[in-house]
Structure 1
Amino acid sequence: MKNFLLFIALVATSFIYAQNAVIQGVILDDKNQTIADVNINVLGTTIGTASDNTGFYRLVVPANQKITITFTSISFKPSTLKDIELDGKAPFEFNPVLKTDIEQIGTVTINNTRTKEFAGITNVDPTVVRAIPGVQPGVENLLKSLPGVSSNNELSTQYAVRGGNYDENLVYINEIEVYRPFLVRSGQQEGLSIVNADLVRSVDFSAGGFQSKYGDKLSSVLDINYRRPTEFGAGIDASFLGVNAYAEGTAFAKAATGILGVRYRNNSLFVNSRETEAITKPVFIDAQTYLTYQVSPKFELSFLGNIAINSYEFEPLTSQTNFGTVDDAQSLIINYDGKEDDQYETYFGALKASYDVNKLLNLRFITSVYHTQEQEHYDILGRYRIGRPNTNIGSDDLGEVDFTRAIGSELDHGRNDLDALIVSLEHKGTLEFDNGKKENDQLDWGLKFNREDIRDRLREYTVIDSAGFNIRPPSVAANDEPYFAYTAPLDSFESASADNDVQITRLQAFAQYSSRGYVGDHELYWNAGVRSHTWNVSGAGIQSTTQTVISPRGQLAMKPAWDDTNMLFRFSTGIYYQPPFYRELRDQQGVVNPDVKAQKSVHFVLGNDWSFNWTAPNGDKRPFKLTSEAYYKDLSDVNTYTLENVRIRYRANNDAEAYAYGLDVRLAGEFVKGTESWISLGYLKTEENLDGRGYIARPTDQRLKVAFLFQDYVPNIPNLKAYINMVYSSGLPGGSPSYADPYDFQFRLKDYFRADLGVQFVLVDDKKKPKAGSWLEDFDEFSIGAQIFNIFDYENNISNLWVRDVASSAQYAVPVRLTPRVFNLRLIAKL
């Protein structure tokens, strides 16, 4: 009732200010690219604003009187909208095009540093996101080319940052936190990313040392904003992997905007290319929408909605994996019975109200509901034999097993069902202080209430039989079969069984202050804030437990006034807590421990940006930026875990301490004129000390990573474009059995290397217009192309499959390989 009354009060207040009007739009340059940080002012008044990093601006002006509005930027010639008179009934759209001021280009990078650069936030161009090829295209695909971000599974959209795991990353869409499914075990089950790249307006990413306003996780934050259309548009992106389509437009004199994206994806092209011959139906469908309505010049409502229905049916038939060395070649042949049937249904909706009390004060109220129903059912019996393959190149039966040394079988059973409902209510506010400086000081605050209701049924077991003899659980002493009989009851090799009904309530609050000014001629930025997080865990058979953590954070950056060098230095530090989510409360047997503490990490990040122009052989000056960050993280109350493909299973006991340190370097710029490319280099070391037994490598200890993202075009055919996404990283610790003591298995998987190529021939874009009367005349963009995934057909391993021979007491680590070389065709069309 209180929320309803507050809503009515805001609406009523908005009509008091009906004497105002709104002008808004997107500012473009003469190449049809958006321009950020353009100053917009009403001539003769103090009314003004600036465009954001996507070129969008919104300005509240007096209604029913003639005004003149100016648009100015250091690198462009000014533009003026003279003697305009608005009635205030609906927002007025004006999209100015600013011409380049050649004489001022040299000073742009020196005097126009964005606040996000001071805060250590990486901004990614959405057009690059949509162009770069990848097995899972989209925002996460591009993030994996950044230093400090790693993922050794191209079928997954999940990523690890600076030694953290997949659960340690915050993801926001339009200030609303979003979640991923709970029960996914492998990348091929995962489906679509929650972020629809066709709807994206801006992408901001921080790999550590982020501000208090971004929430409580240990590793990173991904901040996505969906765009507001200014006119009708539609597009389609189709390939052998599926179809993405969107439509956007406005209504009610552009007071209302809406964009809808629908995606269909079928991963059969990749699943069927692997070593296992199978009948598969990996189908993933989702629909997302972002709607806005300008109730008045000061009051706006928006809605973000998502429905995702993912179905993964997998019926394996046979597989043959050759491994070992040339001198000791081995082969594993498996014949399967049974199938896996997984279903994931997710429904998400969020309503946001934004109210401008005045030019300096903005209040936002957000409510969201997230509901997921997940089913993971499987019964798969694999009868295996290990033997020596024929390695005689001239033989007719090359590769076939001519001698079998071990046989056995394994039955995997699972009946896992989960239903989760997450409801949140949130208030955020922003107050600027008009201090006469170019950039105002800013106070941000927020208060959030969360209620998480999880109902989870876990039933899993594995039975292993080698040469007709049941293999006992790893916790039980080995027997002497087949030479001596064993008469005790048979036990499954691994098992987990639990029924959990858990409720978690959270109350979070933050406040932070930001200031930007000058010390002498040197530009200075600082930010200081604090967060609090209180949570309670309760449920059937669970003793109610409440805990609280306080998290202070700060940032300091300086841009020296050096004549010949454009550099920025920054330092971030803070205490970062990660209060446990449901997954972190559940141990490897499925039992919930409500006393699990929040993991704690103290961040120290020292960074430098060096912007410069490189003179090409032909005399062209091309902009480049070299970004370097050194970091150290000291972790305590660590909740250790095992990683199987993408499934994380926690020990849920806060029994370790850990650390991570490294160096990230990225060189970005126009290696080819008119395109953006980059090279990334990252070094990382992260170790954990479990129960005081000494430091060992953590599952995400990926020491070295090199990534190369390159855009190019044929000089004589500029509309034939190429995109290369290439990643090399050293092998991760892993591949050991999930039940094993990590101190007994400290070896690594082989190095990961992958290169994806996309070639697109552009028939229509903003630079190439079709002839009048052509069938392409109605298209704003039209292109066709091809993609080659894993160009060099490199065999990457995600884990090991462990098989046993009871007679010889030997275990064989058989590599589980990722996707080989795959070809795809792609068509893009936009109206």
Structure 2
Amino acid sequence: MKNIFFVFFVALFSLTVSAQKARVKGVILDEFNNPVENVSVKVEDKDQGTVTNENGFYILEVEANKKVTVTFSHVSLKKYVLVLTLKSNEDFELNPRMNSKVEEFGEVFVVGSSKKRIEGVTTIDPVVIRKIPGANPGIENIIKTLPGVYSNNELSTSYAVRGGNYDENLVYVNEIEVYRPFLIRSGQQEGLSFTNTDMVQNVDFSAGGFQSKYGDKLSSVLDITYRNPKRFGASLEASLLGGSLTVEGVSKNQKWSNITGIRYRDNSLLVNSQETQTNFRPTFFDVQSLLNFNASTKWNFSFLGNISQNRYNYQPLTRQTNFGTIDEPIALLVFYEGQEKDKYLTFFGAGKAVYQYNEKNKLKFIASAYHTQEQEYYDILAEYRLGEVDSNIGSETFGDVVFSRGIGSQLNHARNDLDALIVNAEVKGFHELNEKSQIEWGAKFTLEDIRDRLVEWEVIDSAGFSLPNPILDYVNNQPYNPYIGPLAPYQNIRATNYTRINRLSGYLQWNYRGKIGSHDYWLNTGIRAHEWQVTADGRPDGDVQITFSPRAQFAFKPNWNKDMMFRLSGGLYHQPPFYRELRDYDGVVQTNVKAQQSIHVVLSNDYSFKMWSRPFKLVSEAYYKNITDVNTYTIDNVRIRYRANNNAEAYAYGFDARLNGEFVPGTESWFSFGYLKTEENQDGRGFIARPTDQRLKFGMLFQDYMPNIPNLKLYLNLVYNTGLPGGSPSYADPYAYQLRLNDYRRADVGFSYVFKDAGIQSRKMWLKPFNEFSLGLEIFNLFNNQNSITNTWVRDVYTKSQYGIPNYMTTRVFNIKLVARL
């Protein structure tokens, strides 16, 4: 492994770079938004320059670290002049709008070390998010290609970061925290991600070591900003999986603006490719709207609203899964009766007011409410045969089960209902003390009111012999000896919880920029505090608990020819328990669950350079987490079941690297690598792998086009993860079972023929109203890999063996997609 790391670093850091140049590039438009050809672009007092092509595109190389005056001139348009100051290897996008009446002049000072780079935040272009294919497209689809981010379920928007679980990730939209549904058990039930990609302006992601201004979670932050429209626009996407429509506009006086998106998704195409034959049509629908009002130069008001409904009607029919070896092929054949009906209805609304009382001081007031009504009802009887498969190619029964090793049945029942209301009120402040330092602070009150009823049981019968709950620890040697223990369901959960949680939280942080000789540095220090109390009907009130979380970031940019930045960040992170974390294996709320605590350290290097005269960046990070008061859990598909007893300690460490840039001119692609090890020690019994111990990860996002057919674009999304722990029954003692699932391998590819966009123009009249129009073909799971999410455990009563039969995910699926934007 050490040799691999050495070769990896030598290959990437041995690149030679030019240190004294920067680039300006973009598209020049006229006042009617048409690209302008033959615009002369040159630096003042220099003879060399460039000319825009037929699409209005240009690239100009300029000197770095000094003021340069760039002039845009055209025979029929007025001159456009801009003064720029760029850092070494800076790649600055400039899209000037030239007109026939007024000459324009201006000055821009571009700091090579942007705020996001200083904070160690990964910024993702929304255009890339919209174009890259995936079975569950959107922001999460792209995040899963980043280093340190792990997922083995293409039907889910859930992801784990650096050893954490799905519940340890913060998600914000316009600074408003977003919540996941509670009762989701399978990724197929999740439906749409909260975030509407067509409404997005900016996406930032931090995989750890984030600042105090972000909330109390252990793993990551996804910070999304929706855009404020500047003119009328509309976009339409339609495919075999559903469609979306987004409309945006602004009032004549520019004070009011609105963007509204409607989405509908039908996952039948995907789920019907699985092994289980079903009558199944899961449908998901949502409406989102962002309304902005600029009351004055000091006041801005906005409202974000969302209504979503997921319907999951599932009626399995049959399933056959072949496994075993070539010499001894085995199959599980299952016949089903019954159905599952799940429904999630969610309402979300948030108001935000921003008061900019002068250039250096700003206040924000945010209030939000989240209401979800969820039901999970099912009665499913599965009757199975476990047997040997006829492997004789010439036989009439080839592929059929010809000898049964075991037969049995399994009956699952649930009547789960949940109604949750979460209300937040928050105030934030930003104050610029001087050119070098700023103060940020915030205070937040949260009320969580949750009403929950759980009724779940499972009965297993194998060859006529009822199997008791393994936790009862009775010896069962059927059919050789009679069973004399009590009759009890294999699993039985019954609980009714009325839970209320009041929370007060706040933060204070200081940002400072300074110099050490000729070198730049940035310092951020802050602290978070969180107080909460849990009350539950029929249970003793929980104690009032308080946590303090000091955090710090230090970024250093040496004045070298090579554009490098070094960062050290971390601190003490707490995760006060949310409702799911309070509920134990029996479904009962434990009111005194402590906050999980993590000492987190991240050391990173950010290296920007030129290769093939194009910009590239290599970001590498090493991290370590020491976690105490761990709330241990098991994962069943995407549902997490906590023990709610803080009975463990854990650690996680690893290394992440990401190389991104223009491997193909004009397009961004990246390659990522991650190594992770995370283990936990329950009740002093020794360290074992945590459920998210996914050791190796490789990800690739690649964009290309055909030189001879520039209208034809290619988009590739590829992920490889080594197998997760989780190959054992969920009820089992984790110290007795340390089995792993198979490696996860996934490749999704998209081909898109672009009739028109910003870089490709068309003279066809029917395309004139459109800014973008394309038709594409998507192939999900290109290589038809068989990935499994869990195992089904079946017992052979005669040999008393248990077989873990993989529950496979989706196979290769084709999709057609149409995109039109005005």
Q: Which residue of 2 aligns with 1:696?
A: 688
- State which drifts further: 403-412 or 393-402: 393-402
Amino acid paired to 1:827: L
Q: 1:148·1:682 contact (CA, 8 Å) conserved in 2?
A: yes
Q: Does 1:456 align with 2:452?
A: yes
Instruction: Find the residue that maps to 2:732 and give its secondary structure.
Output: coil
Flag the 1:787–1:507 CA change in 2: closer, same or farther, 3 A: same
The 5 Å alignment of 1:787-802 reads 787-802=778-793
SS in 2 for 1:127: helix
Shift of 1:395: 3.0
Q: Alpha carbons of 1:731 and 1:107: their partners in 2 closer, same or farther (altered >3 Å)?
A: closer
Aligned to 1:306: 306
| CA separation of 1:285 and 1:761: change in aligned 2, threshold 3 A | same
1-side partners of 2:486 and 2:602: how far apart?
56
The alignment's C-alpha RMSD in Å is 2.1
Which residue of structure 2 lines up, in the alignment, with residue 568 of structure 1? 565
Q: What corresponds to 1:674 in structure 2? A: 666
From 756, 779, 791, the counterpart of 1:764: 756
Gaps of 5+ in 1: 1-26, 35-71, 81-95, 616-620
So what's the TM-score if we normalise by structure 2?
0.88
Q: Which residue of 2 aligns with 1:173?
A: 173
The answer for the alignment partner of 1:85 in structure 2 is none
Counterpart of 1:627 in structure 2 is 619
* Mapping 1:661-810, distance limit 5 Å: 661-771=653-763, 774-810=765-801
The 3-state SS of whatever aligns with 1:270 is helix
| % identical aligned pairs | 56
Quote the Cα distance in structure 2 between the aligned partners of 1:373 and 1:626: 45
Instruction: Look up the SS of the partner of 1:274 in the other structure.
Output: coil
**Structure 1 CA distance, aligned partners of 2:68 and 2:563?**
20
Q: Which secondary structure does the structure 2 equivalent of 1:770 belong to?
A: coil
1:451-478 deviations in Å (ceiling 9; x for gaps)? 0000000000000000111001102312
Distance of 1:635 and 1:827 partners within structure 2:
47
Out of 544, 547, 560, the position equivalent to 2:545 is: 547
CA distance in 1, matches of 2:702, 2:331: 39
The partner residue of 2:443 within 441, 447, 452 is: 447
Take 1:629 and 1:644, find their aligned partners in 2: how far apart are those partners?
A: 31
| 90, 102, 105: which one aligns with 1:108 | 90
Contact 2:627 2:651 in 1 (8 A): yes
Q: Secondary structure at the match of 2:348?
A: strand
Alignment partner of 1:583 is 2:580: yes
CA distance in 2, matches of 1:740, 1:75: 67
> Relative to structure 1, is the Cα distance of residues 286 and 781 closer, same or farther in structure 2, using a 3 angstrom cutoff?
same
CA distance in 1, matches of 2:560, 2:267: 53
Asked whether the equivalents of residues 88 and 112 of structure 2 are also in contact (C-alpha less than 8 Å), the reply is no
**Aligned 8 A contact 2:65 2:86 in 1:** no
CA contact (8 A) 1:76 1:98 kept: no
Structure 1 outlier segments of 4+, above 6 Å: 72-76, 96-105
Partner of residue 612, structure 1: 609
Alignment of 1:149-168 (within 5 A): 149-168=149-168
Residue type at the aligned position of 1:108: E
Alignment partners' CA distance in 2, 1:802 and 1:576 = 38
Kept in 1, the 8 Å contact 2:565–2:606? The answer is yes
Q: By how many angstroms is 1:197 displaced?
A: 0.6
Q: Distance in 2 between matches of 1:76 and 1:452?
A: 56
Q: Between 238-247 and 393-402, report the one with greater CA deviation.
A: 393-402
Residues 75, 487 of structure 1: alpha-carbon distance in 2 compared, 3 angstrom cutoff: farther
Q: Give 1:490 deviation, angstroms.
A: 2.2
Quick check: 2:70–2:82 contact (8 Å CA) kept in 1? no
The DSSP-based 3-state class of the residue aligned with 1:116 is helix
1:503 aligns with 2:494: no
2:116 match: secondary structure: helix
The amino acid of 2:491's aligned partner reads E
Distance 1:663 1:75, change over 3 A: farther
Letter matched to residue 90 of structure 2: V
- Provide the aligned length of Structure 1 versus Structure 2: 742
Quote the Cα distance in structure 2 between the aligned partners of 1:561 and 1:665: 23
Larger mean CA deviation between 414-423 and 440-449 belongs to: 440-449
Counterpart residue number, 2:319: 319
3-state secondary structure, aligned to 1:475: helix
1:405 deviates by: 1.4
Residue of structure 2 in register with 1:18 after alignment: none
Q: CA deviation at 1:416?
A: 0.5
Kindly tell me: are residues 283 and 480 of structure 1, through their superposed partners in 2, closer, same or farther at Cα, counting changes over 3 Å? same
Q: Secondary structure at the match of 1:775?
A: helix
Check conservation: 1:173, 1:226, Cα contact below 8 A. Answer: yes
Task: For residue 417 of structure 1, give the secondary structure of its aligned residue in structure 2.
Answer: strand
Tell me how far 1:29 sits from its aligned partner. 4.3
CA contact (8 A) 2:250 2:256 kept: yes
Match of 2:374 in 1: 374
Q: Deviations over 1:619-667 (max 9, x none)?
A: xx01110100000000000000001111100000000000000000000
Counterpart AA for 1:632: Y
Q: Partners in 1 of 2:262 and 2:180 — Cα distance?
A: 18
What SS does the aligned partner of 1:584 have?
Answer: helix
Tell me if the contact between 1:211 and 1:529 (Cα under 8 Å) persists in the aligned partners. Answer: yes
Given that residues 364 and 428 in structure 1 are in contact (C-alpha distance below 8 angstroms), is that contact kept between their aligned partners in structure 2? Answer: yes
1:151 partner letter: S
Change (3 A) 1:791 1:100: farther
Higher mean C-alpha deviation, range 174-183 or range 468-477: 468-477
Q: Of the candidates 814, 817, 821, which is equivalent to residue 808 of structure 2? A: 817
| 1:29–1:100 CA contact under 8 A, matched in 2 | no
Question: Residue 412 in 1 paired to residue 404 in 2?
Answer: no
1:30 equivalent in structure 2: 27
**Residues in 2 aligned to 1:778 and 1:398: alpha-carbon distance in whole angstroms:** 58
Name the CA shift for 1:285/1:817 in 2 (closer, same or farther; >3 Å): same
State the alpha-carbon separation in 2 of the partners of residues 826 and 274 from structure 1: 22
CA distance in 1 between counterparts of 2:315 and 2:432 reads: 59
- From the superposition, tell whether residues 714 and 262 of structure 1 become closer, same or farther in structure 2 (CA, over 3 Å): same
Relative to structure 1, is the Cα distance of residues 463 and 97 closer, same or farther in structure 2, using a 3 angstrom cutoff?
farther
Which digits, 9 at most, give the CA deviation of each residue in 1:419-450, with x for residues without a partner? 00000100001001233xxxx42110000000
Shift in CA distance, 447/32, structure 1 to aligned 2, threshold 3 Å = farther
Question: 1:269 aligns to what SS in structure 2?
Answer: helix
Looking at structure 1, the residues matched to 418 and 299 of structure 2 have their Cα atoms a distance apart, in angstroms, of 39
- Cα distance between partner residues in 1 of 2:538 and 2:461: 36
Q: Secondary structure at the match of 1:558?
A: strand
Work out the CA distance in 2 between the residues paired with 1:170 and 1:77: 43
- How far apart, CA to CA, are the structure 2 residues paired with 1:397 and 1:581? 54
| AA of the residue aligned to 1:473 | N
Going from structure 1 to structure 2, the CA distance change for 1:463 and 1:623 (only over 3 Å counts) comes to same
Residue type of the alignment partner of 2:291: L
Q: Residues of 2 paired with 1:637 and 1:102: CA distance? A: 53
1:500-551 Cα deviation digits (max 9, x unpaired): 0000000001000111232221111110000000001012112222100000
Q: Supply the AA of the counterpart residue of 2:676.
A: L
Q: Which amino acid aligns with 1:273?
A: S
Secondary structure at 1:183 match in 2? coil
**What secondary structure sits across from 1:263 in the alignment?**
strand
- Cα distance in 2 for residues equivalent to 1:172 and 1:105: 31
Q: Contact between 2:66 and 2:85, CA under 8 Å: does it hold in 1?
A: no
Corresponding position of 1:399:
399
Alpha-carbon distance in 2 for matches of 1:593, 1:269: 41
| Structure 2 residue 428 is matched with structure 1 residue 428 | yes
Q: Tell me the residue number matched to 2:464.
A: 468
- Could you tell me which runs of 5 or more consecutive residues in structure 2 were left unpaired when the two chains were aligned: 1-23, 34-63, 73-77, 92-109
Q: What secondary structure does 2:664 align onto?
A: coil
Is 1:335 matched with 2:326? no
Pairing 1:134–2:134 present: yes
- Determine the structure 2 residue equivalent to 1:492: 489
TM (norm. structure 1) is: 0.87
How big is the shift at 1:571? 0.2
Cα separation, 1, equivalents of 2:80 and 2:225: 24
Determine the C-alpha separation between the residues in 1 that align with 2:677 and 2:80: 48
